[in-house]
Amino acid sequence: MSALAKASGALKSVDYEVFGRVQVVSVLALIVLSHYFPNQYTEQEAKKLGVVGWVKNTSQGTVTGQVQGPEEKVNEMKSWLSKVGSPSSRIDKTNFSNEKEISKLDFSDFNTRY
């Protein structure tokens, strides 16, 4: 069991999808598709909280991903995904699914998928 799990008790995993204006839409974004700024903020927040998982922009204009970690920290990340997001985003709604207790983390870090 990881030090994170030992220190924090129950581990949780949850999938998410964020709807609204959550992706950068500009000529710069089209040129540098691999560097969407909203994902950078999601990654920074996840690392600040100490959760692991991933984030990815979808072709439908949403942001999707998975968060794993101590239940309290996962709940903090869910709140951030629902209410805060990146500075330029407008969050209309966030769907959470497959929320469950897990015995170990599937990831060692939080990163952006392309």
Residue 110 lies in a domain: no
Q: What's the pLDDT at 70?
A: 97
> To the nearest whole percent, how much of the chain has pLDDT over 90?
48
In this predicted structure, the answer to whether residue 56 has a pLDDT above a threshold of 80 is yes
Residue 48 lies in a domain: yes
Residue 95 lies in a domain: yes
Residue 56, token pair as written in the block: 């990815």
Residue 64 lies in a domain: yes
Query: What distance separates the 2 farthest-apart alpha carbons in the chain?
Result: 46
In this predicted structure, the answer to whether residue 40 has a pLDDT above a threshold of 60 is yes
Q: What's the pLDDT at 16?
A: 94
In this predicted structure, the answer to whether residue 32 has a pLDDT above a threshold of 50 is no
Q: What is the mean pLDDT of residues 12-31?
A: 67
